[in-house]
Amino acid sequence: MTEAAAHRHVVIVGASLAGTRTAQSLRTLGHTGPITLIGAEAELPYDRPPLSKSLLKGEWSQASVDEIRLAGPAEFAELAVELRLGAAAVGLDTAARSVRLGDGTTVPYDVLVIATGAAARPSPWLPEGVHQLRTLDDARSIAARLALGEPVVVVGGGFIGTEIAAAARGYGCAVTIVDPVPEPMARLVGPEIAGGLVDLHRRNGTETRFGAGVVGIEGTPGELTVELDNGERLPASTVVVGIGSVPSTGWLAGSGLNLDNGVATDGFLRALGADDVYAVGDVAHWPHPGRGHGVRAEHWTNASDQARYVAEAITKGLQDAYEPTDYVWSDQYDWKVNAFGRRDPEGTSLVIGDLAENGKVAVIHATATGAACGAVTVNWVRALNQARRLLPAATPAQDIANAIQKLL
Ligand SMILES: Cc1cc2nc3c(=O)[nH]c(=O)nc-3n(C[C@H](O)[C@H](O)[C@H](O)COP(=O)(O)OP(=O)(O)OC[C@H]3O[C@@H](n4cnc5c(N)ncnc54)[C@H](O)[C@@H]3O)c2cc1C
C-alpha cells in the first residue's frame, strides 16, 4: 500500500456485519487513515442470524444481547473507528465525495463503502399486530408475542419463516406456515430433502398451508384473521410476515450510481457510476463468475467475505475478481442444514444417506456434464467438509458421492 493510500479517509455506510467487518479488516490489513462507520440503527452492531434462532427461543437478557454484538465500544476505540450510530445516510454526492446524514451534516470521504444491507420486504397487509423480522427490536417484540403461547401464523416458508415457526413451537404456540408455493422447502434445500423438512415441521406440530396465498389480514393485535385464497380463514394472535427482503438503496436515489436490485458493481465490487465507491454484503449486486449473471446474495458468509475482499482492495490494490463461497446455513429444530454452491436445473443430484435411517443426509449437485457444482447436508459435518474440499476443483459429483458414502 502506498503511504497516500494508507491515509485515505474510508467512510462505511451501514453498521452491521458487512460494515463492521470492513472496518475491522481495514485495520488488520494496516490501513492507518481515518475510518468512519455510519449506521441508521442506534444499536451497536449485532449479528442477525441469532434473531431467528437462539435469541427468539431463549430468555432475553442483557447477556444474551451482548453475546451477539459484532464489536463493542472498546474494540471500536482501539481500532480508532469513528462510530456515527443512529445516523441514517440520506444522500450521496459522488462529485463532492460526501455523504449527507439525516441531521443535515455531511461526511466527506476519499473511499466510500456501501454496506446498507437490506430491509424486510414490506408486508402488503398492515393491521397492527403483523410483525416482520430484521432487527433486534423486531426480534424482541416477536419473542414477547411468542412467549404468550397463543396461535401464530407465519406467512412465508423461507429460512426465516420456518425458523420463526420452530421457535414458536418451542413456546407451545399453535403454528401454521402459509406459502403460495406448493413446495417452498424445495427452494431452500432442493427437492431431494424438502419432503423431509416438511415432515420435520409437521412432526413438531406445525401446520402448513402450501400452495395457498394470503388475500388479506384483518383484526386487531391478539385477534387477527388471515384469509387465504382458498377461502380458509386462519385465526391468530400473532402474524409474522417473512416474504424476503429489499436492498436498502433509497438514500442513493439521484446519486448517479447504477441501482439495479441493489448497488450494481463490477467483479471487483466497485460500484458502477462513481470512482472509489464499493458495495458489500446484502446490498451489493455483483456479477457472479460461475453463474453468468448478477447476484445479490443475502447470506452471512458472503457479507463477511466481501467485507474482507474490499478491505484488501482498498489497502493492497485490486487483485483477482471476487470469488464467492456461496455458503449458507439454517437451523430447523434439531436439523443443521448447510448448503453451498448451487443446484443446476439442467443437471442431476446424488443423495447419500437417509435421515430416517442414518440421521444424516448429503446431496451433491452436478451440472449436465457431471461436474459437482453444489452440496446440501443435514446433520453431517464430515460430509460437508469433504464436499467443500473437493467441490472447488470441479471434481465429478460421483467421485464426491463415493467419498462421502465411505463416511456413512
Ligand atoms: C432473522 C435473520 C436470520 C438470518 N439467518 C441467517 C443464517 O442462518 N445464515 C445466513 O447465511 N444468513 C442469515 N441471515 C442473513 C444475514 O444476516 C445477512 O446476510 C447479513 O446480515 C448481511 O449483512 P449486511 O451488513 O450486508 O446487511 P444488514 O445486516 O442488512 O445491515 C445493514 C445495516 O445498514 C443499516 N442501514 C440501512 N440503510 C442505512 C442508511 N441509509 N444509513 C445508514 N445505515 C443504514 C441498517 O440499519 C443495518 O444495520 C439472516 C438474516 C436475518 C434478518
Residue with cell 457479507: 303
For the ranges 21-35, 124-138, 184-198, 205-219, the lowest mean pLDDT is seen at: 184-198
Q: Which atom of ligand 1 is nearest to the CA of 281?
A: 26
What cell numbers appear for 275 in the block?
A: 470512482
Q: Whose CA is nearest to atom 19 of ligand 1?
A: 299
Cell for 175? 403454528
How remote is the C-alpha of 379 from its chain's centroid? Answer: 21
Question: How far apart, in whole angstroms, are the C-alpha atoms of residue 337 and residue 299?
Answer: 14
**Do 33 and 9 meet the contact criterion of CB atoms below 8 Å apart?**
yes
E strands present in 268-386: 277-279, 284-287, 294-295, 327-332, 335-341, 348-354, 360-366, 372-378
Residue 302 CA: nearest ligand 1 atom is 19
Residue 3 or residue 105, greater confidence = 105
Q: In this prediction, what percent of the chain has a pLDDT beyond 70?
A: 99
pLDDT score of 166 more than 90: yes
Atom of ligand 1 nearest to the CA of 251: 41
User: Residue holding cell 433509497?
Assistant: 250
Predicted confidence (pLDDT) per residue in 44-101, tens digit:
999 999 999 989 987 778 888 999 999 999 999 999 999 999 999 999 999 999 999 9
Q: Per-residue confidence at 160, pLDDT binned at 50, 70, 90?
A: very high
User: What digits encode the pLDDT tens for the residues 267-292?
Assistant: 999 999 999 999 999 999 999 988 88
Q: Residue 2's pLDDT is what?
A: 63
DSSP class of residue 51? G
Q: How far is the CA of 107 from the centre of ligand 1 (A)?
A: 23
Closest residue (by CA) to atom 23 of ligand 1?
Answer: 17
Per-residue pLDDT tens over the stretch 97-120: 999 999 999 999 999 999 999 999
Q: Whose CA is nearest to atom 14 of ligand 1?
A: 49
* SS3 state at 234: strand
How many angstroms separate the alpha carbon of residue 405 from the centre of ligand 1?
37
How confident is residue 405, by pLDDT bands cut at 50, 70 and 90? very high
Which region among 133-147, 182-196, 367-381 has the lowest average model confidence (pLDDT)?
A: 182-196
Is the pLDDT at 1 greater than 80, yes or no? no
Best mutation site among 248, 251, 269, 337 for ligand 1, i.e. most ligand atoms within 8 A of its Cβ? 248
Q: Residue 282 C-alpha to ligand 1 middle, in angstroms?
A: 7
96 CA distance to ligand 1 middle (Å): 28
Report the nearest-CA residue for atom 20 of ligand 1: 300
CA of 92 to the centre of ligand 1 (A): 21
Mode of pairing for the β-strands spanning 10-13 and 111-114: parallel
- Ligand 1 atom with the smallest distance to the CA of 14 is 34
Show the CA angle centred on residue 246, arms to residues 244 and 251, nearest 5°. Answer: 160
State pLDDT tens for residues 187-227: 778 888 888 888 899 999 999 999 999 999 999 989 999 99
Backbone angles phi, psi at 241, to 5 degrees: -105, 120
Q: Is residue 93 classed as helix, strand or coil in its secondary structure?
A: strand
pLDDT at 4 over 70: no
CA distance 404 to 383: 6
**% of the chain at pLDDT higher than 90:** 79
Ligand 1 pocket test: which of 116, 142, 309 has the largest number of ligand atoms within 8 Å of its C-beta?
116
Phi-psi region of 379 (alpha: psi -120 to 50; beta: other; left: phi over 0): left
What are 319-368's pLDDT values in tens digits?
899 998 889 998 888 899 999 888 888 999 999 999 888 889 999 999 99
The neighbouring-strand residues paired with 12 are 37, 113
Nearest-CA residue for atom 6 of ligand 1: 49
pLDDT band at 400 (very low <50, low <70, confident <90, very high): very high
Q: For the chain, what is the mean pLDDT? A: 93
**pLDDT value, residue 69:** 97
> Which atom, in ligand 1's list, is nearest to the CA of 20?
25
Going from the Cα of 298 to the center of ligand 1, the distance in angstroms, rounded, reads: 8
CA proximity to 297, closest of 276, 324, 275 = 324
Nearest by Cα to 281 from 258, 292, 265, 293: 265
What distance in angstroms lies between residue 393's CA and the mean position of ligand 1's atoms? 31
Buried b (16+ CB within 10 A) or exposed e, 36-63: bbbbbbebbbbbbbbbbbebbbeeeeee
Choosing from 37, 48, 259 the residue with most ligand 1 atoms within 8 A of its CB, the one to mutate for a pocket test is: 48
- The stretch 392-400 carries a mean pLDDT of 86
**Rounded distance from Cα 16 to ligand 1 centre (Å):** 6
- Is 314 a residue whose pLDDT tops 90? yes
Could you give the 3-state DSSP secondary structure of residue 355?
Answer: helix
Give the residues surrounding ligand 1 with Cβ less than 6 Å away. 13-19, 38-41, 48-49, 51-52, 88-89, 115-118, 133-134, 160, 248, 251, 281-282, 298-301, 303, 328-330
Supply the residue whose CA is at minimum distance from atom 50 of ligand 1: 49
Residue 269: CA count within 13 A, CB half-sphere: 36
Q: Which atom of ligand 1 is nearest to the CA of 120?
A: 53
User: What is the model's pLDDT at position 311?
Assistant: 98
Q: Which atom of ligand 1 is nearest to the CA of 52?
A: 1
All domains of the chain in start order, with CATH:
3-119+245-316 (3.50.50.60), 122-241 (3.50.50.60), 334-405 (3.30.390.30)
